[in-house]
Amino acid sequence: MSFSLLSAAASGEGATPAWAMLAYLVAGVFFILALRGLSSPATSRAGNRNGMIGMAIAVVTTLIMHGTNLVEIGIAIAIGAILGVTIARRIAMTAMPELVAGFHSLVGLAAVVVGLAAWLNPAAFGITDAAGQINAVSRVELGLGIAIGAITFSGSVIAFLKLSGRMSGSPIMLPGRHVINLGTLAAILVLIGLYTVSPEGGAGEGWMVIAVTALAFAIGFLLIIPIGGADMPVVVSMLNSYSGWAAAAMGFTLGNSAMIITGALVGSSGAILSYIMCRAMNRSFISVIAGGFGAAPEAGGAGAREQRPYKQGSAEDAAYMLEQAESVIIIPGYGMAVAQAQHALREMGDKLREKGVSVKYAIHPVAGRMPGHMNVLLAEASVPYDEVFELEDINSEFAQADVAFIIGANDVVNPAAKTDKSSPIYGMPVFDVDKAKQVFFIKRSMGGVGYAGVDNDVFYMNQTVMLLADAKKMVEEIVKSLD
Amino acid sequence: MDFIAILSIFVLACFVGYYVVWSVTPALHTPLMAVTNAISSVIIVGALIAAAEAENPVAKYLALAGVVMASINIFGGFAVTERMLAMYKKKEK
């Protein structure tokens, strides 16, 4: 029995031998361990290595079973390796969101390619029935895999363009887009259904798969176009999830447990991240996906805004107050990433600590353009991770803090989220900076508003001093004044 | 493998994914996305089979293009994750 388990194929032509199935299962387990390692920075690098081991097992197993065209395949892998490693080495940490979006688009496109290849040459993938036709179940899996892959691809391309600033981050609204989107989605599902029941080589069997691919490319594009820049954390997470489901669908087609386990892991990961991001904005997933948030000023918003008095300060004022403080909480936002101010900020933190000031960093889940964006930038600037705190862990400390130092954040400190039921950000958890004794708010100018397009009462509070300048320049000046 | 066996693996893996991902510290959410991106490129298995078993040049080069794309992701994804994780340091002393 053990002999047959390790040598013979379970049944039928093209079925995977048992040893290979076991190898794929082991690869899947390594992928689980890869994610498990990320539960703490201390174990994270070992986790990443486990991921590499799992991938190596999956690739080598496949190459042993299908040992033809090895030279070409080797060249293809080498090209990918050189490109991938070069990109990974050169990319600036601030550009991480668009890099991840770009990578997602490649997974999506690869899924489409694999799906089309399996459709064109089903015998090689062992998905044919006795009559040489593709099984009905495999057709559904193929159709879904291609569709999800194509959506991932085109959606990620748009997300990439928006995140890298090659395309305006503001929502682009097409009239009747909900009808168009739902219609396209319905058409894709109907076509997959028709393809499943139509005989191979029968009327229209070929164009159905092509049409599913084309429509899915179109809907990925249409779905992301109306979603604004600061909703990108949700979009990137969602596309992350889709890339997982696409891999899982292909795993079903190939009966490959490594792909199925990975797909399920990545799919849940992206879905959970999307959920965390939505919760942190107190918005439903549907409303984010429907898009258009922050597109038009609210009634009585930007245009009609009254001029209210505020205090403006200089770097010297800020440096003086910071030195006198016992505890400072720094709240970075997307503006810090844009200004590349993280290194100057860490220098400021170090200077203050030398003077005996307690310095902590407070990070909102949706700060930046992707989950964990601020954490990576602070880590890049060598801020130890045990000085960086999540919203719920630090929010109670503002009441005791001498200074809340806001750099490039806005909506995440807006008290309207707690008090103003008519505000578009009402209900979003925010930092209680209004409880700190003193607030410094670095902002480019008084003209701009946050993503939500709403005014922020923090600007006009008695204890608030506005530092109107480029974030990096302002922090550098504060550092100079601290000497 | 029959469909029910595959489905069982899938459903159980979704639960594993759910619990494992909730245990990931929020500070590492960006590396999480980078590494999930790398491992979802296990789809390269499909591209490798297609490239090895291709019956005509068009299918072969299409599949090889898939291999290149997935490889960019695998190597790029793991490398950039490694680079990010190396930056996370604890306070000295």
pLDDT of residue A25: 94
Q: Are residues A160 and A37 in the same domain?
A: yes
Q: Return the structure tokens found at A262.
A: 């990975």
Q: Are residues A322 and A267 in the same domain?
A: no
Q: Are residues A436 and A328 in the same domain?
A: yes
Contact A372 B10 (CB under 8 A): no
* Closest residue of chain B to A96, computed from CA coordinates: B30
Q: Are residues A38 and A150 in the same domain?
A: yes
Residue B62's SS3 state is helix
Q: Are residues A361 and A467 in the same domain?
A: yes
pLDDT of residue A264: 95
Question: Is A250 near chain B, with CB under 8 Å?
Answer: yes
Q: Are residues A205 and A326 in the same domain?
A: no
pLDDT of residue A293: 62
Question: Is B8 near chain A, with CB under 8 Å?
Answer: no
Q: Are residues A403 and A474 in the same domain?
A: yes
Alpha-carbon distance A120 to A21, whole Å?
A: 24
3-state DSSP percent of chain B in helix, strand and coil, to 5: 85, 0, 15
* Assigned domain for A37 exists: yes
Which residues lie below 8 Å from residue A177, measured CB to CB, with a gap of 6+?
A: A222, A226, A291
pLDDT of residue A197: 85
* Assigned domain for A294 exists: no
pLDDT of residue B90: 82
B55: which DSSP letter?
Answer: S
Q: Which residues of A touch B71 (CB under 8 A)?
A: 76-77, 79-81, 83-84
Q: Return the structure tokens found at B63.
A: 């599949």
Q: Quick check: A459 and A415 in contact, CB under 8 A?
A: no
Q: Which residues of A are catalytic?
A: 411
* Assigned domain for A309 exists: no
Q: Which residues of B touch A89 (CB under 8 A)?
A: 79, 83
pLDDT of residue A134: 85
pLDDT of residue A422: 83
* Assigned domain for A438 exists: yes
Number of domains in chain A: 2
Q: Are residues A217 and A131 in the same domain?
A: yes
Contact B46 A261 (CB under 8 A): no
Question: Is B65 near chain A, with CB under 8 Å?
Answer: yes
* Assigned domain for A48 exists: yes
Alpha-carbon distance A281 to A415, whole Å?
A: 14
The structure's pTM equals 0.89
Q: What is the CATH number of the domain that holds A461?
A: 3.40.50.1220
End position of a domain, from candidates A236, A254, A289: A289
Residue A224 sits at the vertex; the CA angle it makes with A223 and A228, to the nearest 5 degrees, is: 130
* Assigned domain for A299 exists: no
* Assigned domain for A306 exists: no
What ipTM was predicted for this assembly?
0.95
> What is the helix (H) or strand (E) element at residue B13, kind and residue range?
helix B3-22
Question: Is A280 near chain B, with CB under 8 Å?
Answer: no
Q: Are residues A278 and A322 in the same domain?
A: no
Contact A80 B74 (CB under 8 A): yes
pLDDT of residue B93: 53
* Assigned domain for A65 exists: yes
Q: Are residues A276 and A370 in the same domain?
A: no
Q: Are residues A321 and A179 in the same domain?
A: no
pLDDT of residue A320: 93
End position of a domain, from candidates A289, A305, A328: A289
3-state secondary structure chain A: CHHHHHHCECCCCCCCEHHHHHHHHHHHHHHHHHHHHHHCHHHHHHHHHHHHHHHHHHHHHHHHHCCCCHHHHHHHHHHHHHHHHHHHHHCCHHHHHHHHHHHHHHHHHHHHHHHHHHHHCHHHHCCECCCCCECHHHHHHHHHHHHHHHHHHHHHHHHHHHHCCCCCCCCCCCCCHHHHHHHHHHHHHHHHHHHHHCCCCCCCHHHHHHHHHHHHHHHHHHHHCCCCHHHHHHHHHHHHHHHHHHHHHHHHHHCCHHHHHHHHHHHHHHHHHHHHHHHHHCCCHHHHHHCCCCCCCCCCCHHHCCCCCCCECCHHHHHHHHHHCCEEEEEECHHHHHHCCHHHHHHHHHHHHHCCCEEEEEECCCCCCCCCHHHHHHHHCCCCHHHEEEHHHHHHHHHHCCEEEEECCCHHHCCHHHHCCCCCCCCCCCCCHHHCCEEEEEECCCCCCCCCCCCCHHHHCCCEEEEECCHHHHHHHHHHHHC
Contact B9 A261 (CB under 8 A): yes
The parent domain of residue A183 ranges over: 2-289
Give, for all 483 residues of chain A, the pLDDT tens digit: 344 444 333 344 456 789 999 999 999 999 999 999 999 999 999 999 999 999 999 999 999 999 888 999 999 999 999 999 999 999 999 899 999 999 999 999 999 999 999 888 888 888 888 877 888 888 999 999 999 999 999 999 999 999 888 887 777 777 878 888 899 999 999 999 988 888 766 556 778 899 999 999 999 999 888 887 778 888 899 999 999 999 999 999 888 999 999 999 999 999 999 999 898 888 888 877 776 665 444 434 444 456 788 999 999 999 999 999 999 999 999 889 989 999 999 999 999 999 999 999 999 998 888 889 999 999 999 999 989 999 999 999 999 999 999 998 988 999 988 888 888 888 899 999 999 999 999 998 887 666 666 788 899 999 999 999 999 999 999 999 998
Q: Are residues A404 and A274 in the same domain?
A: no
